[in-house]
Amino acid sequence: MTQDASLEGLRSQILDSIKGRKLGLDVNGHLVGVPDVRVPVLGTTANGTTLVSTATTTIKAYGVTLIGSSGTSGATGYQLNAPIPGVMATLFNPTTGYAVIGTSAAGGLVASSQGALSTLGTITLDGKGRMVQLMGLTTALWGLVPNWAGSSIATGVSLV
């Protein structure tokens, strides 16, 4: 059976209303009615004009975080907080420099395709436009969400 997945179609499926027809829960308990979900964009100063790029910067385990440094010689060291199961985190480098993100010091590792028990502890984004999206699998394990546009060592994202 087909289902109307338009915004109005989803709103018509609301059984438990949170805010009239604007937001509610459907028969499966899914949140419906909103056109999209906004997540915080982190990693800048309060007015969003300056990137925070110090070796002591800790990255939250949610939202979109802008990371990096200016110039090819600039390499930053970040620490990613431990994952929250079921929560996505996106790391994006808008600068020309490298961004090096450690995961293991905060208690999380990135699952690897190298084997069932293989995990990685460092993510490197090598310049402008490089990004990685992670999903919290457990409180100690991140899963790498595939970037079909090219998220590999050859395209500037490496995991070690």
Q: How is the beta sheet containing 63-66 ordered, strand by strand?
A: 41-42, 63-66, 88-93, 130-136, 141-145, 109-111, 119-120
Max CA separation in the chain (angstroms): 57
**Parts of the chain with a pLDDT under 70:** 1-3, 5, 46-50, 52-56, 70-76, 106, 112-118, 147-160
- How deeply is 67 buried, as exposed, middle or buried, from its count of CB atoms within 10 A (0-12, 13-18, 19+)? buried
Q: What is the pLDDT of residue 76?
A: 67
Phi, psi of 154 (to 5 degrees): -65, -25
Domain positions in the chain are 1-37, 41-159
What pTM did the predictor assign?
A: 0.75
Q: What is the pLDDT of residue 149?
A: 45
